[in-house]
Each structure stands twice: as structure tokens, then as C-alpha cells.
Amino acid sequence: MRRSLALVLLLAAAAGCVRVTTAPRSRPAGPAAYVVPGVPVLTFGLERCGAGSLAAVLAAHGETPTIEELDAVLPKAANGGVPTVDLLLEARRR
């Protein structure tokens, strides 16, 4: 029974029906890493990575929206993420 289940899962994965994703492993900065002047260090969770990233980019260009403000106006996809095009549109709007 276990062998049959494993075979079904393997075939489903090979067909693209099952997708398994994991968060990337965090690694320390390498020797080539450097700090970009003028870009603030912001802390945000995975659930707000779109709003947080956009807030950092906008802050580097003199805008000061909060992550919460951006999170409220950015549309969410079915999986809870923010489509890249919507980040671009909000950046252009500002």
C-alpha cells in the first residue's frame, strides 16, 4: 500500500500536479555584500514581503509610506501574495 501511494505521489509530482515548496535557507552575507547608502533597514514578515520591499525602495527615493499603509492598498493574489505588476503600478503611482 505504501509503495503504491509513493508511486502515485511520484507520478503526480512528475506531472506537475503536486508542488512542494519550502522557504529558502537563510545564509549569512558573503564577502561581496555591502550596504547601499540611503536605503533604510526595514523588518517585515513573509506575509508582508511585497509591501515591505516596496516601502524600502520608496524610502530610498524619499517617500515614507509605512508597510501597513502599502499593505492596505496593494491587491492580494489568491495565495495572499502581491503580483509583481501591482508593486510596479503602486511604485509608479507614487
Tens-digit pLDDT profile for residues 4-54: 555 555 655 555 554 556 777 788 889 998 888 877 788 888 888 899 999
Question: Which amino acid appears at position 15 of this protein?
Answer: A
Tell me the three state secondary structure of residue 16. coil
Whether the Cβ atoms of residue 65 and residue 45 lie closer than 8 Å to each other:
no
Q: How confident is the model at residue 79 (pLDDT cuts 50, 70, 90)?
A: confident
Question: Residue 50: CB partners within 8 Å, gap ≥ 6?
Answer: 70, 71, 74, 81, 82, 86, 87
Nearest to 84 by CA among 60, 49, 56: 49
Note the pLDDT of residue 66.
Answer: 93
